[in-house]
Each structure stands twice: as C-alpha cells, then as structure tokens.
C-alpha cells in the first residue's frame, strides 16, 4: 500500500485560540479524545500539538491513536512524553498506520499533572466533537460513561498530516465563528458524496475573532487573536494549495460604545477602507504561500442585537469589494446563498439559527453547496 504514496497532506486541522478565563481553567489526570475524519488513503501519520496561546508549559504524558480497534502509541523524539513550551508547538514522530479513505481515527492524549487549558478552540459540525474522561484512558476503546463527558472544545491538537498519494491536497477554511461551526464539515461530506476524493478540508477558525483588533481583557480575550497574529500561524498547512477566507463581521458588529460596554468602544469600528486593507493583507500573505485565494461574502445580520443601518452599509461595501476585486481567484457569495430575496439584509428563515447572525444547519449546508466545484478539484 505505502509504495503508492509520496506526499504529506494535512487531513484535519484546527486553529488555536484562547480559552475563556475561568477559575477551573486548570485540569489534571484527564484524557482528551478527538475524532479525525480521513478523506483519503495513506500509510503514515504525524500530529501537531500546539500551545501557541498558552502562558505556561503543557506536558502530554501519553498520546495514542485508536484506529479500527488497534492502538498506536505516538512518540516525540522517540519519547512517550513531551513538554510544549508556552507559545510553541511540537510535531510527533511519524507513526505507520495504513489508513483507508472515509474512515475515522481517534486521537487520545493524557494530561497527568495540573495543566493550563488555555490553547483551545470551539468547533462544531457533523464531523466534530470529542470527549474527555478522568484518568489515563488512552488505551480504552470506549470511555466508561460514568467518568466521561462530551466536548466541542479542542485543546492543543491542531493538525494531522497523512503520507498519501501525490494528487491529494488540502483546502484551508479560515475565519471566525461562522467557520468554526458546521459549513467546513458539510464541505468535507460534500467532497465525500460527490467523489471529490483527493481534497481534504482544513478548518482554521476562532469564534469572536476580528481581522483588525483583539481584546486585552479576561472578559473577551477568548474571542481570539487579530488577523496579523493568527494568519501566519494557522494558514500555512502541509499539502494545502488554496485558502477560503470568510471573516470581518465581528469587526462590524462588536463596537457599541463605552457607555454600553467599557471594552467595546466605537473607535474600534473600522471604515470600509480599513477593513478592505486588512483583507488585502490576508490576500498578500496567502499569495506568498503560493495559494489560490477565494473570499466569502459576509452573511445577513438583520435582527442581530447590535444591528443598525450603518453596520449594514459597511458590510455591503465590504461585500461589494469581495464581489468585484481582481486581487483574488474568486468570490464565494455566501450572502447570496443564504439571504431572503424579499429582504436581502436578513437570512432566509430556514437558514437562520435564530440569533440572526449564525446560520442553521440548513444554512451551513447551503454555504457548503455554494463553494464552486473548481475549488475542490
């Protein structure tokens, strides 16, 4: 099987952001387990664990892959345990596993001592969602139900790469909570259903994040890093040749004035030119990686709690730039795919989750369906 393969390609990935600051931000004697969908065949795996947003070292005492009923121990420089310094990441040694397309493997890792659980990201969707359990359960096929719980917060694990066929490749989806939720998973399932079997979808998204600014207080620091602190760290991905960018709505909807919220001054509201310049910075960076660049329009927001006509105007000016610029390889018109034609500022009702900012499951499927097939081939 392995003689067919000649290239490393990422098959799974997440951003690394900042966990919400809570009194219970430390964990001890805990095993985390996350599913990894494999879009294509391969023969070897490497995993990345990332403490990019951490302020203390993190020690992983044991990490194991569970695949088709067998356990495969990971090593780091031939050692079972590894300590990751604050702000740094570690890539595992290669582990030989013959992986079949469309299978799911499970990554488990054990944290024995008190660990600051700061480097993390929340994601959701039909292919996402892990578990944690008390004790070292890395070589237990099913966690005992009385000592485990589900979680959609992914700690430390940021990338899985597979040694695979030379024609296989990855597409990176970069953004905020819209992308941290389900449309990248639905895009992966679309690739599977439509037999676009040589493309992996890699999600790099952090909820609450903005292009131009970030928060420096414990109330909102979990909304993540600004673009210039994220993009270079997240988007360069093994085997990727394309990035889809969909971000900017939080720059528009967050500022409300210090009379309403001391951490959200109206001076944070960008002009359209400033927001477009931030997007141009992303485009230039992605070009420097040799990537094709596609940008998604911002979604409808009428009914969101800070909605106002001036925000709608700013969003529309930003979207018009995305639709008309020749700086990118193409626009993905997510706005057009999800809006109500009778009221273009609002979601079509069945595509609205109810908060008038995030799509419903059907809305996320519509976003995935809106991605042009040439991006996936």
Distance CA 130, CA 127 (A): 10
Q: Say yes or no to pLDDT of 220 above 60.
A: yes
Conformational region of residue 257, where left means phi above 0, alpha means psi within -120 to 50, and beta covers everything else: left
Domain identity same for 73 and 125: yes
My answer on whether 177 and 146 are in the same domain is no
Q: What is the pTM of this model?
A: 0.97
Is residue 2 scored above 80 in pLDDT?
A: no
Last residue of a domain, one of 111, 143, 160: 160
Residue-number span of the structural domain to which 367 is assigned:
168-376
Per the structure, the count of domains in the chain is 2
User: Do 108 and 56 belong together in one domain?
Assistant: yes
**Residues 194, 144 within the same domain:** no
Least confident of 190-199, 280-289, 321-330: 190-199
CATH number at residue 343: 3.40.50.1110
pLDDT value for 3? 57
Residues 289, 173, single domain; the answer is: yes
Distance between CA atoms of residues 45 and 8, nearest Å:
9
Residues 156 and 179 in one domain: no
Domain end position, chosen among 113, 131, 160: 160
- Considering the domain architecture, whether residues 220 and 133 belong to the same structural domain is answered as no
Confidence of residue 197 (pLDDT cuts 50, 70, 90): confident
- What are the contacts of 337-344 at 24+ separation with CB within 8 A? 337/366, 337/367, 337/369, 337/370, 338/299, 338/300, 338/363, 338/366, 338/367, 339/299, 339/300, 340/300, 343/302, 344/300
Domain boundary among the residues 160, 193, 212 is at 160
Distance of CA 325 to the CA centre of its chain: 26
In this structure, the answer to whether residues 194 and 154 fall within a common structural domain is no
Q: Give the pLDDT confidence score for residue 288 in this predicted structure.
A: 98
Residue-wise pLDDT tens digits, 328-358: 999 999 999 999 999 999 999 999 999 999 9
Residues 140 and 194 in one domain: no
pLDDT at 98: 97
pLDDT of residue 203: 98
One domain for residues 94 and 149? yes
Task: Give the angle subtended at the CA of 213 by the CAs of 211 and 217, to the nearest 5°.
Answer: 140
Inter-residue contact 123 to 158 (CB < 8 Å) = no
pLDDT (average), residues 302-316: 98
- Same domain, yes or no: 10 and 30: yes
What's the chain's average pLDDT?
Answer: 97
Q: What is the pLDDT of residue 195?
A: 87
Q: Are residues 147 and 181 in the same domain?
A: no
pLDDT tier at 1 (50, 70, 90 boundaries)? Answer: low
């Amino acid at each position: 099987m392995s003689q067919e393969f000649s290239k490393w390609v990422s098959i799974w990935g997440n951003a690394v952001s900042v966990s919400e600051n809570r009194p219970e931000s430390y964990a001890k004697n805990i095993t985390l387990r996350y599913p990894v969908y494999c879009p294509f065949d391969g023969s070897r795996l490497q995993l990345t664990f990332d403490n990019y947003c951490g302020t203390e070292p993190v020690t992983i005492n044991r990490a194991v892959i569970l695949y088709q009923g067998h356990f495969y121990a990971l090593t780091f420089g031939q050692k079972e345990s590894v300590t990751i310094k604050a702000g740094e990441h570690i890539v595992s040694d290669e582990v030989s596993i013959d992986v079949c397309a469309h299978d799911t493997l499970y990554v488990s890792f054990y944290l024995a001592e008190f660990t600051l659980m700061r480097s993390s990201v929340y994601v959701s969707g039909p292919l996402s969602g892990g578990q944690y359990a008390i004790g070292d359960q890395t070589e237990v096929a099913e966690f005992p139900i009385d000592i485990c719980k589900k979680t959609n917060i992914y700690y430390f694990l940021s990338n899985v790469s597979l040694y695979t066929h030379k024609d296989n490749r990855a597409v990176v989806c970069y953004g905020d909570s819209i992308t941290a939720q389900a449309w990248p998973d639905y895009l992966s399932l679309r690739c599977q259903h439509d037999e676009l079997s040589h493309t992996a979808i890699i999600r790099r998204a952090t909820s609450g994040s903005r292009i131009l600014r970030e928060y420096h207080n414990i109330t909102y620091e979990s909304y993540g890093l600004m673009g210039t602190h994220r993009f270079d760290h997240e988007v360069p991905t093994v085997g990727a040749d394309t990035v889809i960018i969909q971000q900017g709505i939080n720059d528009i909807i967050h500022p409300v004035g210090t009379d309403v919220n001391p951490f959200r001054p109206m001076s944070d509201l960008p002009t359209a030119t400033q927001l477009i310049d931030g997007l141009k910075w992303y485009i230039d960076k992605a070009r420097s990686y040799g990537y094709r660049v596609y940008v998604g329009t911002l979604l409808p927001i009428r009914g969101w709690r800070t909605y106002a006509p001036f925000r709608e105007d700013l969003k529309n000016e930003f979207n018009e730039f995305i639709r008309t610029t020749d700086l990118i390889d193409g626009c993905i018109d997510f706005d057009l795919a999800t809006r109500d034609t009778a009221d273009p500022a609002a979601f079509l009702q069945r595509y609205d989750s109810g908060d008038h900012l995030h799509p419903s499951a059907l809305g996320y499927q519509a976003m995935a369906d809106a991605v042009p097939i040439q991006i996936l081939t």
